[in-house]
Structure 1
Amino acid sequence: MSCRFCSREWIFGEVGLILSIVGTVLYINWISWFTILRGKEMALSPISPAYAGWKSSPLPLYLDIYLFNWTNSHQFTNHSIKPRFQELGPYRFRDIPDKVDIKFHPKNNSVTFRKMSLYYFDAEGSNGSLSDIITTVNMVAWAAVHKKRDSGFFQMLGLKTALDLSNEKLTVTKTVDEMLFSGYKDPMVDLNNFLKTFSMGEESISYDRVGYFYMRNGSSVFNGLLNMHTGGDDPRKMGKIHTWDAKNHSGFYQSNCGMVNGSLGEFFPPNLKEGDSIDLYIPNMCRTVPLDYTETVEVHGVRGLKFSGGRRSVDNGTMYPETKCFCVDGKCERAGVMNMGPCQYGTTAFMSYPHFYEADPYYLEQIEGLKPVKEKHEFFMTLEPNAGVPLDVGGGFQANVLIEPIPGMGIYDKVPRIFLPIMWCEQRVRVTPEIASEIKLVPQIIYWGQCFGGALLFVGIVMFLWHPFHAIANQFKPKDQRKPKTKNTDEPNHQLRIESVPFVAKNGNGQIIAKPQKLSLLGQSKDEAKR
């Protein structure tokens, strides 16, 4: 018994159909399958390939610090003269980061740790020395006055007396070294520490010197206790913060603005696309900063998506209603600054982009000496979209202080309400060509995997349609050029059968007559035979 589906044409078409299905499934699902396979291999653990680079950066890191020198502070109470600032720096420091107190939690696929950094001054890479002199806002005096501004008469009188006895001024003039890491002695701090012995001082002040980075060099306590997803259960979670100091809501801002979420900067979700946004959680700012896609670039031959901080990141509900929850005590400042008061002991500290980049013109109109430039002051991260790893990072944030008049407080009695720049920092990191070549393997594997799936699909379609196409094409050829049909062994085997034999005879008149022979094919019906 013959098999109709066992012919060469049928087998050729069946193989083509199978290849088409396999190629389609592979092409559609290859990225997801590869992401899962790579995620299992790269999931953070003490033995994973990503662990060493996560614990301590393989790239040299530098922290550039710029300070604003207030050149006409003596004219501050003259409201017709704008405060004028001169940018000094950068003062470059070699940053050697590390992660300590590491503890993995397999049950929920997370890891707990603290961040620590060691800073070393890089004189060669700096534009200035640590002995440079700078004049800036007296943060100690202003913080004390602002904190007690709503206190009773006797407390305000006592504070005014303390300011007078300490000879506190609107500004302080110190060396760069004193303002940054070494710190300087301040009589108000000494007085507070003395009063604490009688349970009368401010308990939140636990230091003996004043400096922007005082006690931070080599310390692991300032960033808090961080808990991050390892990606063991889902590669898309790898690098996302889970809790900060055992909380998933900071409590410093209302609603979603206080949620602890986003990446900590080392890993981002894989398979990013143009038009996506990423979230970066910054512990020092107690908040998440969103970065939006701006353009596609190349870094050492690797395609990357650039995500930048725009106006949405520094808005307070003016342009984006969802950011209104960053307003503090119902007060919403113009777009461009972020209120750090709840995160910084109730001070009037505000963060912005350097030189008030992307901020409301109001801030630049108050002062002189600042000029925002996108190429210098934009905050951005360029990521390889398939792996979600940084290729190039640049920009930073600027610290500002809001000064307001406090009636009856001497040096602050006649000051204007104004935002004054203090300093800004940036950290630029760019992968080396060697690391870029390793990262490039990820998009290459994805590309060739999809190419293989597409090739299977193409070959399968060609094989599946080959015989039907040729059969149809054969019908349009002239009859003398048509390819004869292949004999089908399943059809009946017709044989010629002679039903009568012709003979010759004479009739009665002597004429010769012939009877025609009758032919038929075996297996042919009677109706077919008649035709």
Structure 2
Amino acid sequence: MKSSRRSLQVYLCTFATSVFLIAIGLVLSLIWPVLLKFILDNLMVLTTKSYAFDLWKKFPEPFPIDFYFFNWTNPESVTNATVKPKFQEMGPYRFFETKEKANIIWNSNGTVTFRHRKFWYFDENKGINDIQDRITTVNPVALSSVYATRSWNYFLRKGLSVSLSSMAPNVYLTRTVSQMLFEGYEDPLINMARSLPFLGNSVPGWDRFGWFYTRNGSTTYEGIFNMGTGINSTFGRLYSWNHWTQTPYYEGNCAKVNGSAGEFFLPPDHDSISFFSPDLCRTLTLKYAGPSTVKNILGNKYVIDEHMLDNGTLYPENKCFCNGECVPSGLVNVSSCRFGSPSFASLPHFYSADPYYLDSVEGLKPDKRKHQFFLTLEPTTGIPLEVGARLQINMLMQPIAGITLYENVPRVFVPMLWFEQRVQIPDSEVFKLKMLLNLSIICTSLGILLMFIGLIVSSCLVYKICTTNICGKKENKYLYPEQNIPLKGERSVEIVKRI
């Protein structure tokens, strides 16, 4: 009887297990959309305990940034109207960039305020070129000073011309790559500009000039960001920059601070995405360009096109980006954002720009594969899969009456340098993302497997019950049980015959 009870308990437990497996399998097969939504909702929130926080606070590994300079090979012919300025690209000069957040403040309205801290260091071991290479280019400090005087009366400009000629006898200069980037170099015009308040903001309060001078390790250069955390706010959206919702650098809609803060994007549509660039003091809009696969993950690719680069020539709504100097499509006027210097941003080698720019110089060769600015996002989560950030800095050189050094120069947009940041999603995150994206297949497959196992167990249980006497009665193997006479051999046959 005890044995029968144990057998019955085993059968009941087995039956319960099979029902449980079938139920769990059925639930997994049907519940995966709810589970996916729950995971995505948690991913789209930034707190100190959320999955995205550590990645947002400090990027897990440094990423490369390559700088290219344009060496002016015929500067002595600058006043010869029959000779175009000729440039030779030099580089890449590879640095590594680390990026982290500083001065983080969590606000009660569901936003977070922070600053960026970045460090750049030259890759001594794998540097492709020597940062002590010497580059000849237009004198950016002199050009900025002269540009600031274009609205002065003739006699004031003539007075400045005398001082300028003694301190900057040529419109060009030669410096090392290191000096042009982070090290900086001394220039007497900087000291003069700091002592002459009527030059306004044409030259910042630096003691040296370098395109990235004072930026290494700075927490103030890129400004103050206020971003939505997803709690009573839009996740990743930039609500203000330097406490502005409209910058003072542009007019109308062009001055609005909007789009992503540049790191998180809501699941995008198939039209466009936007993010704010502190270097250009404006929002950049990228248009959908089609699907793209990164590390076997399908994403949507977005690129900077002619609409973003236009100043009203092709799209009238962009005229507010002119800043008083409307130029042909392809260059973005950032002079008001760059201390009043004649600075214009473009894609490298004037890619996707009006032919006017290429026709005025020699040596540039735009290439879509090398010079396109793009961003690839995973469409379900909005996670960036790959970034190809490429921008070129140009300066406008033009004749200025009354400034002897610049009276006979051509009007030309001089390419100074361009940089490229090419970053892909870290391998450590690829597996997690693939698991998330394949959640439906994983849940469905696991559910079917569990249901199949449950059905197999149930079938075996039914078969066992049908072929086994679970009440404890055994078949009588003896003809005369009281005599213990088994039915074996000849004796069994004989007994049968007697019967």
Task: Tell me the TM-score normalised to structure 2 length.
Answer: 0.79
Q: Is the 8 A contact 1:42 1:49 kept in 2?
A: no
Deviations 1:231-277 (A, max 9, x none): 1235xx2211110011111121122111101112211112x34x321
Provide the secondary structure at the position in 2 that maps to 1:284: coil
After TM superposition, give the deviation of residue 361 of structure 1 in Å. Answer: 0.9
Which residue of structure 2 aligns with residue 248 of structure 1?
245
Correspondence 1:68 to 2:65: no
Matched, 1:157 2:158: yes
Q: In terms of mean alpha carbon deviation, does 35-44 or 251-260 score higher?
A: 35-44
* Greater displacement, 220-229 / 261-270: 261-270
Which residue is equivalent to 1:369? Answer: 363
Look up the match of 2:347: 353
Whether 1:170 aligns to 2:167 is no
How many angstroms does 1:326 deviate by? 1.1
* Secondary structure in 2 matching 1:345: coil
Q: What SS does the corresponding residue of 1:250 show, helix, strand or coil? A: coil
Q: Which residue of 2 aligns with 1:461?
A: none
Secondary structure at 1:220's aligned position in 2? coil
Q: Are the equivalent residues in 1 in contact too, given 2:155–2:402 (CA < 8 A)?
A: no
Q: Does the C-alpha gap of structure 1 residues 117 and 151 become closer, same or farther in structure 2, counting only changes over 3 Å?
A: same
413 and 431 in structure 1: CA distance in 2 versus 1, 3 angstrom threshold:
same
Q: Is the 8 A contact 2:61 2:98 kept in 1?
A: no
1:368-395 CA deviation, whole Å, 9 max, x = no partner? 1110111111111111111101111113
Question: Separation in 2 of the partners of 1:80 and 1:451?
Answer: 73
Q: Which region of structure 1 is more displaced relative to structure 2, 431-440 or 45-54? A: 431-440
- The counterpart of 2:432, out of the listed 429, 438, 444, is 438
Q: Distance in 2 between matches of 1:450 and 1:344?
A: 56
2:85 to 69, 83, 86: 83
Q: Residues 168 and 52 of structure 1: is their aligned pair in 2 closer, same or farther, counting only changes over 3 Å?
A: farther
Q: Deviations over 1:167-212 (max 9, x none)?
A: 442011011111111111111112233x26xx67756631111111
For residues 226 and 68 of structure 1, the distance between their equivalents in structure 2, rounded to whole angstroms, comes to 33
Choose the corresponding residue for 1:294, options 289, 293, 297.
Answer: 289
Q: How far apart in 2 are the matches of 1:54 and 1:110?
A: 14
Name the structure 2 match of 1:381: 375
Aligned to 1:399, which of 390, 393, 399? 393
Residue 424 of structure 1 corresponds to which residue in structure 2? 418
User: For 1:36-71, what per-residue CA distance to the aligned partner results, in whole angstroms no more than 9, with x for missing partners?
Assistant: 653235511122111110011123311111111000
The 10-residue stretch of structure 1 (313-322 or 216-225) with the greater mean CA deviation from structure 2: 313-322
Q: Is the 8 A contact 2:43 2:52 kept in 1?
A: no
SS at match of 2:51: coil
Q: Is residue 335–residue 343 contact of structure 2 (8 Å, CA) maintained in 1?
A: yes
> Which residues of structure 2 form unaligned runs of 5+?
1-25, 448-499
Conservation of the 8 A alpha-carbon contact between 1:100 and 1:113? yes
Q: Tell me the equivalent position of 2:97.
A: 95
Is the CA contact (8 Å cut-off) linking 2:158 and 2:402 kept in structure 1?
no
* In structure 1, distance between residues paired with 2:319 and 2:199: 35
- 2:315 aligns with 320
Cα deviation for residue 124 of structure 1 reads 3.5
CA pair 384-358 structure 1, distance change in 2 beyond 3 A: same
1:113 partnered with 2:110: no
Answering whether residue 273 of structure 2 is matched by residue 278 of structure 1, we say: yes
Q: Tell me if the contact between 1:30 and 1:449 (Cα under 8 Å) persists in the aligned partners.
A: no
Larger Rg: 1
1:362 is displaced (CA, Å) by 0.9
Counterparts of 1:52 and 1:417 in 2: how far apart (Å)?
49
CA distance in 2, matches of 1:112, 1:172: 41
Residue of structure 2 aligned with 1:104, choices 103, 106, 123: 106
Contact 1:42 1:48 in 2 (8 A): no
**Residue of structure 2 aligned with 1:59, choices 47, 58, 61:** 61
Tell me by how many angstroms 1:429 deviates.
Answer: 0.4
**1:216: which partner in 2?**
215
Counterpart position of 1:516: none
Which of 46, 50, 53 is 2:52 aligned to? 50
Distance in 2 (alpha carbons) for counterparts of 1:433 and 1:90: 25
2:292 counterpart letter in structure 1: V
- 1:451 offset after TM fit, Å? 9.8
For 2:279, what is the secondary structure of its paired residue?
Answer: helix
Gaps of 5+ in 1: 1-21, 454-531
- Tell me by how many angstroms 1:130 deviates: 1.3
Shift of 1:30: 3.8
CA separation of 1:186 and 1:338: change in aligned 2, threshold 3 A: same
1:320 CA drift (Å): 2.4
| 2:456 alignment partner in structure 1 | none
Q: Quick check: 1:264 aligned with 2:277?
A: no
Q: Quick one: structure 1 residues 338 and 132, their matched pair in 2 at CA, closer, same or farther if it must change by over 3 Å?
A: same
Equivalenced residue count is 421
